[in-house]
Structures are given as C-alpha cells and as structure tokens.
C-alpha cells in the first residue's frame, strides 16, 4: 500500500476558495478533479441530517442575527436546537470568529459576502450525483458522523439516519465511491457490527494516545492499537501532527512510523488537512508538505482545502 494513485479528498469542498460545505464549494471541488468530496454531518431538532462541520451554527452563518436569544447558556447556537425549516432561513458564510466577526482565514472568501446556504445531506448527495451524471466524471463522497454520542444523548441516532440517507439517494449501490468516517471508536465499531455498513469505514484519530505513541516511537504499542482498529475499520484518518514530527537543523523532516505500521495491517491512511495558507511549522512550502505526505510517507490519500493544488501535485507525481 498504496497500490494505486493516492486520492484527493476535498476537505469541506474547495473550502480554500469558497465557504465550507456550501454546494458551490462542492461544485468547484468536483470541477478541479477531486476524487472524493467530504460531508460533515449533524442533525437538526427534527432529525434532518445537514452538512455542517460543527454542532454549532454560529461560526458559519447569521444565526445570531436571525434568531437572537436562541443560544444556550454557553452562548452557542446548536444546530440540534433548530428545525430544518429554520436552518433553511440562514445565510451561510465563510468561517469567522463569533466574538469578533473576523475571518478565521483572512485570505479566503470574504465573510458574509454573496449568498450561500447550508444544505441537507440529501440535497448534497443528489447534487454530487447530478454533477457526476452531467460531467461524466465520477467523484465519490466521504461522510463524517459528527459527535454521535452528543446526538444519542439528545435522542437521535445519527449513524442510522446518515446510512439511511446514503441508501435513499442510491450511493450505497457503489460502496467503493463512499467512505464513512468518525472519531468515536464505539460508533465506528457499531457501523458494521450493528448497522450492517458495507462501505469502507475510516477511524479518525483524535485521542491523545496516538500522539503519545508516535512521538515516543513506541512502534510495538502502535501496531497493537492499529491491529484492534483493523477489526472494525478499513483505514485511519490521522492529523498531520501524527505524521510530521519535527524539522532537523539540516532541513530533514522527521516523520512518524504510523503510515508504515498502518499499511502493515492493511489499513489505508488518509491524513488531514492540507492548507496552503496554514502549513505545519515543520515544512516550508506546500510542495514540501505534498512531497512528505505522498512521496516520503506514501499515504493513500489526503484531505485538502485546496484540492486543485493537491490534484496537480498528484498528477505530476504520476507523470514523473
């Protein structure tokens, strides 16, 4: 592994150019040749799955202006407190800091400019299928279940609802064009053992233990953990920090053994997130980051906010 060309996963769509998770961001990502388009999914109060990175609405919409007073004690506006009809009234925006209104990434699409909306999962999956049909070019979907435990405590089964939506829109008929990802191991296990998921499942790595293992170079313990993951998942989704550890004085980028260990257990590795405007401190350029991931480490794919640039690198790599 990897036995084929690495895949490019458009992180929240082409979010380096257009507001994340809008249909416009997905259309651009599709047009530049992304292999998969990502959907983060949360639920509304009436159980409608919507494409939104957080369980909160206030960092990417005008919810505070449209529905003042609907925040919780912590000051946040939770998607699960709003109906789908209410969410459709919101205007989506480039990500910003709720306290200041300033953009998280100042060089990207201007905050609160133009008109965008928050799509339902069904809308987005139908939209991507439509693009595949009209262009004759197939892009897959890469869907994340956001905080299943949070939703379960609110009386909602997000995993079942998402899988039902994928089935309803026909995407389950071609499992190779779908990935399901989640940070919570209990839920990731449940996908196949209880819900009968036939699509590839990716265990996202967010727990501190993974950082501790790779930084300490505890390869034996790392392999034991990955062996357990292989019982229920088809791959892992590490952060860049799990893979890129330091830059030596001579410029050599020191990396972790995680990719090699994962491949030993037949697990695919899809790290997150490549950002041209927010590079890890251990690299000096986007080309170097691409080179470390795809040439030095041999990852099977990666999430990118700038999928056109990553696609271009992969194509050049293939030609080389």
Chain centroid offset of residue 146 CA: 10
How far does the chain reach from its first CA to its final CA, in angstroms? Answer: 19
d(CA 311, CA 32): 8
d(CA 120, CA 124): 6
Choose the catalytic residue: 30, 53, 242, 263: 53
Tokens 């961001």 found at? 25
Give me the DSSP letters along 207-239.
Answer: SHHHHHHHHHT-HHHHHHHHHHHHTT-SEEE-B
d(CA 38, CA 47): 20
- Give me the residues paired with residue 51 across strands: 41
Choose the catalytic residue: 11, 21, 242, 263: 11
Helices (H) and strands (E) in the chain, counts: 13, 11
* Residue 21 bears catalytic tag: no
Give me the DSSP letters along 262-290.
Answer: HHHTT-EE--B-B-TTS--TT-SSHHHHH
**What Å distances lie between residue 106 and 54, 64, 70, 101, CA to CA?**
20, 21, 28, 11
* Residue 53 bears catalytic tag: yes
3-state secondary structure of 41: strand
Report residue 308 as tokens.
């056109």
Count of other CB atoms within 10 angstroms of residue 37? 28
d(CA 206, CA 224): 17
**What Å distances lie between residue 13 and 24, 166, 289, CA to CA?**
8, 18, 20
Judge whether 9 and 35 are in contact, CB under 8 Å.
yes
| Residues identified as active-site | 11, 53
């Amino acid at each position: 592994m990897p036995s084929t060309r690495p895949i490019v996963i458009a992180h929240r769509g082409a979010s380096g150019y257009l507001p994340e998770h809008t249909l416009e961001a997905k259309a651009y990502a599709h047009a530049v040749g992304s292999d998969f388009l990502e959907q983060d999914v949360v639920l509304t109060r009436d159980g409608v799955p919507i494409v939104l990175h957080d369980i909160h609405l206030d960092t990417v919409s005008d919810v505070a202006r449209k529905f003042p007073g609907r925040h919780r004690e912590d000051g946040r506006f939770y998607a699960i407190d709003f109906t789908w009809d209410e969410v459709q009234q919101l205007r989506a925006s480039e990500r910003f800091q709720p306290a200041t209104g300033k953009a998280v990434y100042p060089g990207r699409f201007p905050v609160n400019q133009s008109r965008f909306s928050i799509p339902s999962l069904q809308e987005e999956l139908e939209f991507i299928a439509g693009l595949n049909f009209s262009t004759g070019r197939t892009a897959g979907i890469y869907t994340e279940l956001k905080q299943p435990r949070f939703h379960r405590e609110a009386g909602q089964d997000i995993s079942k609802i998402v899988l039902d939506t994928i089935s309803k829109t026909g995407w389950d008929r071609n499992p190779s064009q779908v990935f399901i990802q989640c940070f919570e191991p209990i839920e990731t296990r449940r996908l196949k053992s209880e819900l009968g998921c036939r699509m590839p499942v990716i265990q996202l790595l967010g727990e501190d233990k993974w950082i501790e293992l790779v930084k300490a170079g505890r390869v034996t313990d790392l392999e034991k953990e990955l062996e357990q993951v292989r019982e229920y998942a088809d791959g892992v989704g590490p952060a860049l920090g799990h893979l890129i550890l330091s830059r030596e004085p001579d410029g050599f980028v020191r990396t972790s053994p995680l990719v090699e260990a994962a491949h030993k257990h037949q697990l695919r590795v899809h790290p997150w997130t490549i950002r041209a405007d927010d590079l890890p401190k251990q690299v000096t350029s986007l080309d170097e980051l691409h080179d470390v991931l795809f040439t030095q480490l041999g990852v099977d794919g990666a999430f990118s906010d700038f999928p056109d640039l990553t696609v271009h690198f992969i194509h050049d790599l293939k030609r080389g």
